[in-house]
Amino acid sequence: MSQTAIAQDAAEDLPEPPGVRLELTMEVATTTNDGLPAALRFTLTNIGSVPIDIPMPAIDCTGSNGSIRVRSEVHFDGTVRAAHGHGCGGGVLDGLPFVEKVRSSWFRLRPGEYLIFMGDRRTMVDKADAAATYEIHAIYIPPKLTPEERRLASQNGFVIPAKTVESNSVSYHER
């Protein structure tokens, strides 16, 4: 089920540092007894030509460290009786100076290296109480940095992605 997609336009109109290319894939890791997707596996791979630095993204939640979110398009078979959404909140303030935080807790991905994350599709995708076909895909949103943080990162040899990346899509039908 795994296909790939390359960096797309970001919400911010920042240029991507030279040599930076990320790839995000999404695949079904486990299924329910009914054969529906349960756990989703997200793989974020550095397919560029330079090492990049990223923090641990929030899964299905927004945050200053970036995030991996699942988006869905729903096509209903009939009348919708009810729909269920979800949300999240929170954040971590560690108080460390920016450069120290990058050095001590971010990941450096060299070309070809990757990180794998898991998420529960049953809580990540909004659900309607009606038969429907769902088409889902994931989006990696890089960390939000101030201009000063971008300058400090560059001065200290860190390369931080600036563009969002979209994954392949997965479709399934739920009754």
Please, what sign has the CA dihedral across residues 128, 73, 59, 62? Answer: negative
- Domain ranges for the chain: 22-174
- pLDDT given for residue 8 in this prediction: 36
Q: Are strands 52-54 and 132-141 parallel, antiparallel or unpaired?
A: unpaired
Q: Is 98 left (phi over 0), alpha (psi -120 to 50) or beta?
A: alpha
Which pTM does this prediction carry? Answer: 0.80
pLDDT in tens, 66-90: 999 988 888 777 665 545 555 565 5
**Inter-CA distances, 100 with 12, 70, 103, 106, 148, Å:** 25, 31, 5, 10, 14
Domain range 22-174, CATH class:
mainly beta
For the residues 133-148, what does the mean pLDDT come to? Answer: 92
